[in-house]
Structure 1
Amino acid sequence: MRLLPKSAFGQTVLLIGVLLLINQVVSYLSVTYYFVRPTTQQISSLLATQVQSVQSQGLMSAPLEQRLAYAKQTKVEIMTTEQALQQGLRDATHYNFMSSQVSSQIGVKADVRISTAETAVGSEPYRVWISLSTRPNIWVSIPLIGGNDAHISPPPTMYLMVIGILSVTGGWWFVRHLNRPLQALQQAALQVGRGQFPPPLKEQGSSEMREVTRAFNRMNQGIKQLEDERTLMTAGISHDLRTPLTRIRLASEMLPEESEWVRDGINEDIEDMNAIIDQFIEYARFDRTGEWENANLNTLIGDMVRVHERYESHHITLKLTSLPDTPVRTVAIKRVLDNLIENAFRYGGDKISISTFFDRTKQRVYCRIRDFGPGIPDNELDNAFMPFKQGDKARGSLGSGLGLAITRKIINMHFGNITLRNHPEGGLVAEFWLPGAH
């Protein structure tokens, strides 16, 4: 499991987050050790001194009149638990760290509580309630003069967390704004890799990003120009070649009847040459005809199977499972199926098997076409998809070697993938998958 992000966006956000976290930790420790701790220790020391003064004068067990007189002079009241509950103790908050500090200074376990401005009774916004373990039913109430100017609380963790979250959020937004042109460039590069040519990208972002975008737009325009020129050149060559082939066909028809076998041989060669020329044109133009539509792959397979059922020597075993509709260019996918089925019959014998299934986890539609021929050597499987590379030499390959190259280009255009492998029990398996949605 990889914890560190790979993208520049993720790494930058992680870096900002780590730096801000370090900053918050340092700020937290600084505030705690240099401001909060000395302040609370000073307050606790004053409270402990006040409690010791009350103890030394015996006020906790003194008559009510003496306690009232002391409260009138110092505003420090000594009362029972019942009286304290009525005066605001019920809603007071217990402070562990102050209880520990007061207990350590007076040598007796103390319970320190503070009533806030909302819960205190009287003019003082804050009052401290202290009870000693030696006299648990007696509470000493000490007002905090000037407490409205400073709130007694533990270290301001919540404030630091809010500042950290806002800082990370701002850093995330800033980095995303910087990486948005890079994401657009990535998507455009993927389109060019599939043989598509997106419109020029808008030059935005930093100066370096603008230069990269400008260079990419020039490269995209140059590749498109080369593609158009190649298509135009291939169309011209095919036109120039078909003219003499047509003349040869006409000339062969004028041969005497006793040379019929020669005429048939010439016509077969002409048909082969026309088929090869058609493959060159098909590969060069990278057919993008047809609109995208939702179609079921099983239906397309059924159409192609019915075409091959006309041949008595073709036997196809179907193992089709239920598939969802997939966005495809129907004509292009039918060309893929026709190429794979034709190759299976040509090189693998008169029997093939076609199976389909749907991967719900990855949301992919799979199709496998298996023949029962000799297969292809494992070291030549990768070359089978290369233009003009015939990986089927072991199976008596004929043709131009463009069929599988065209097939892979169409599958890539559909955002899928195609592979070849030898079956353990013999034969070759061609498998491709298409995404359930774009």
Structure 2
Amino acid sequence: MLPRSAFGQTVFFVGALLLINQVVSYVTVTLYVFKPTFEQVNLMLAKQVKTVFIDWEDGVEVDSSLSSKFFEITGIEVMTQRDAYRNGLGQAKEYTLLSRSMSEQLNGSARVRISQGDPVVYWVETPQAPGYWVRVPLAGLSETKMEFLVFYLSSIGFLSVLGGWLFARHLNKPLKSLQVAASRVGDGDFSTRLVEEGSTEVIEVTRAFNKMSKGIAELENDRRLLMAGVSHDLRTPLTRIRLATEMMSEEEDYLRDGIIDDIEDMNAIIDQFIEYLRHHNGAEMISGDVNGVVEEVVHAEQQHQRPIHFQAEAHLPEVVMNAVAIKRVVTNMIENAIRYSQEAIEVSTEYSAKHRAVLVNVMDRGPGIPESELESVFEPFKQGDQARGSDGSGLGLAIIKRIITTHGGRVKLRNREGGGLIAQISLPIAKKYSSQ
């Protein structure tokens, strides 16, 4: 039942504390302000009622010594029950506590009713005159005062909860920014630098995060620089070897062709290493049409003389992407399908309303991948050796996952019915479409 976020828990506990405070305040005001006030009013009314009924033996008699001026000034009236009902007794509400207090003052069973209005009217049936009601108007005592108290307490409670909500929001804003920045770092974006604000503890955490992010960025740069240097140093002797093979005699053509193939494989592996380490930052991403990118790749891959059937869903929403990186992803997916199958390749695009993402599917009729290895093949240098051979460096799917993760998307592999594999990538649609 409790909220799980720090923001929600803060608001909940502040609200609960204020609610308890409001209940205690209400009970306190009722018991120590309103109750004594009404008891005091009840006591004064009991004394006034006693002065009205002086003598009663053969029926009720109003003391003749009481001047008409007393009734005129006080507004007190004595009515039969019929007259009392005619003047609003039926709409009056009976109060047990006040009746009990009045009974103690009048030494008998008394009944007290109050009719709301302007003014509030006290109705008292005394034990000295059953069947007769004393009507006592009370100016300055109105139900609206109680309503004002309820309104006041409600307003204070609402404003307090609102203040607690704003305070919790301000308190958790740096944590939310930290969460977003951490997600970006996880996706390979190390450019985010958080503003150090908030409480002392949050500032320390933010400072540590900025330092960590900077260190990871420097480590990534050093790694890319190292790989670039290694690839450059390797390509120089490979080029010399390639030139040397060209000078070999015709009798050694079989050996030359093998050396050239090995050199090309090594160059391809070096390119994959560099591509895996390359960081595609957000500045390279723009809104674009996936169909155009996929169609361009399919057209380029037709050189393999393998049928590639492309089925594009019309009017796809645009996605924010690095077109060059997405081309590399689709190219890797198609080349994997060509490498591990002999039949036609099927490529399709579609829109998933459930995930609000554009999907790109590449399907083949190869041997597939064992279910237990569908997730592990995305690890660097990991291959589905048992099912799909061991050619390549084992970085193809790792590169795909790295690029798609940078785009905020997902990569999924699943085996097809009847044999084969479906490689699917999902790219979230642009925000202008998400809000529609």
Answer yes or no: same fold by TM over 0.5. yes
**Larger deviation: 404-413 or 283-292?**
283-292
Question: What letter matches 1:195 in structure 2?
Answer: G
Question: What letter matches 2:75 in structure 1?
Answer: K
* Contact 1:103–1:109 (CA under 8 A) maintained in structure 2: yes
CA apart distance, 1:354: 2.8
When residues 27 and 238 of structure 1 are mapped into structure 2, their CA distance, relative to the original with a 3 A threshold, is same
* Contact 1:60–1:78 (CA under 8 A) maintained in structure 2: no
**Is structure 2 residue 177 aligned with structure 1 residue 176?**
no
**Is structure 2 residue 27 aligned with structure 1 residue 29?**
yes
The equivalent of 2:137 in structure 1 is: 142
Deviations 1:302-347 (A, max 9, x none): 2222223344323325263642111111111111111111111211
CA apart distance, 1:22: 1.8
Structure 2 distance, partners of 1:32, 1:363, is 56
CA apart distance, 1:150: 11
CA apart distance, 1:424: 3.9
CA apart distance, 1:152: 5.1
Question: What letter matches 1:412 in structure 2?
Answer: T
Question: What letter matches 1:74 in structure 2?
Answer: T
The equivalent of 2:217 in structure 1 is: 224
Question: What letter matches 1:258 in structure 2?
Answer: E
Question: What letter matches 2:196 in structure 1?
Answer: E
Structure 2 distance, partners of 1:226, 1:204, is 27
Aligned residue for 1:309, secondary structure, equals: helix
The equivalent of 1:123 in structure 2 is: none
The equivalent of 2:106 in structure 1 is: none
Structure 2 distance, partners of 1:318, 1:67, is 106
If the length of structure 2 is used for normalisation, what is the TM-score? Answer: 0.82
Question: What letter matches 2:287 in structure 1?
Answer: N
Structure 1 distance, partners of 2:364, 2:30, is 75
* Contact 1:384–1:392 (CA under 8 A) maintained in structure 2: no
* Contact 1:372–1:427 (CA under 8 A) maintained in structure 2: yes
**Is structure 2 residue 335 aligned with structure 1 residue 342?**
yes
Structure 2 distance, partners of 1:52, 1:423, is 99
When residues 129 and 304 of structure 1 are mapped into structure 2, their CA distance, relative to the original with a 3 A threshold, is same
* Contact 2:116–2:142 (CA under 8 A) maintained in structure 1: no
CA apart distance, 1:414: 0.9
The equivalent of 1:300 in structure 2 is: 293
Aligned residue for 1:156, secondary structure, equals: helix
Structure 1 distance, partners of 2:75, 2:385, is 103
Alignment of 1:135-214 (within 5 A): 140-144=135-139, 147=140, 153=146, 156-214=149-207
When residues 428 and 180 of structure 1 are mapped into structure 2, their CA distance, relative to the original with a 3 A threshold, is same
Question: What letter matches 1:355 in structure 2?
Answer: S
Alignment of 1:37-436 (within 5 A): 37-44=35-42, 46-47=44-45, 69-72=69-72, 74-77=74-77, 96=93, 99=95, 101=97, 112-115=114-117, 119=118, 127-128=120-121, 130=123, 140-144=135-139, 147=140, 153=146, 156-288=149-281, 291-316=284-309, 318=311, 320=313, 322-436=315-429
Structure 2 distance, partners of 1:284, 1:35, is 75
The equivalent of 2:434 in structure 1 is: none
Aligned residue for 1:200, secondary structure, equals: coil
Structure 2 distance, partners of 1:194, 1:408, is 10
Deviations 1:275-312 (A, max 9, x none): 11111111112244973222122232222222233443
Deviations 1:171-216 (A, max 9, x none): 2222222222222222221121111112432222222222222222
Aligned residue for 1:356, secondary structure, equals: strand
Q: Which runs of 5+ in 2 are unaligned?
A: 104-108, 432-436
Aligned residue for 1:426, secondary structure, equals: coil
Moved segments of 4+, more than 6 Å: 55-62, 106-110, 148-151
When residues 357 and 95 of structure 1 are mapped into structure 2, their CA distance, relative to the original with a 3 A threshold, is farther
Question: What letter matches 1:348 in structure 2?
Answer: S
When residues 374 and 30 of structure 1 are mapped into structure 2, their CA distance, relative to the original with a 3 A threshold, is same
**Larger deviation: 103-112 or 342-351?**
103-112
When residues 192 and 79 of structure 1 are mapped into structure 2, their CA distance, relative to the original with a 3 A threshold, is same
When residues 304 and 49 of structure 1 are mapped into structure 2, their CA distance, relative to the original with a 3 A threshold, is farther
* Contact 1:347–1:397 (CA under 8 A) maintained in structure 2: no
The equivalent of 1:5 in structure 2 is: 3
CA apart distance, 1:50: 5.3
Structure 2 distance, partners of 1:299, 1:109, is 89
* Contact 1:315–1:350 (CA under 8 A) maintained in structure 2: no
Structure 2 distance, partners of 1:292, 1:260, is 47
When residues 378 and 264 of structure 1 are mapped into structure 2, their CA distance, relative to the original with a 3 A threshold, is same
* Contact 2:313–2:351 (CA under 8 A) maintained in structure 1: no
Structure 1 distance, partners of 2:68, 2:342, is 113
Structure 1 distance, partners of 2:73, 2:168, is 63
* Contact 2:364–2:422 (CA under 8 A) maintained in structure 1: yes
* Contact 2:246–2:256 (CA under 8 A) maintained in structure 1: yes
If the length of structure 1 is used for normalisation, what is the TM-score? Answer: 0.81
When residues 331 and 76 of structure 1 are mapped into structure 2, their CA distance, relative to the original with a 3 A threshold, is same
Deviations 1:218-251 (A, max 9, x none): 2111111111111111111111111111111111
Q: Which runs of 5+ in 1 are unaligned?
A: 121-126
* Contact 1:129–1:141 (CA under 8 A) maintained in structure 2: yes
* Contact 1:304–1:337 (CA under 8 A) maintained in structure 2: yes
Structure 2 distance, partners of 1:213, 1:286, is 24
* Contact 1:78–1:140 (CA under 8 A) maintained in structure 2: yes
Deviations 1:388-418 (A, max 9, x none): 1113442113111111111111111111111
Question: What letter matches 1:383 in structure 2?
Answer: S
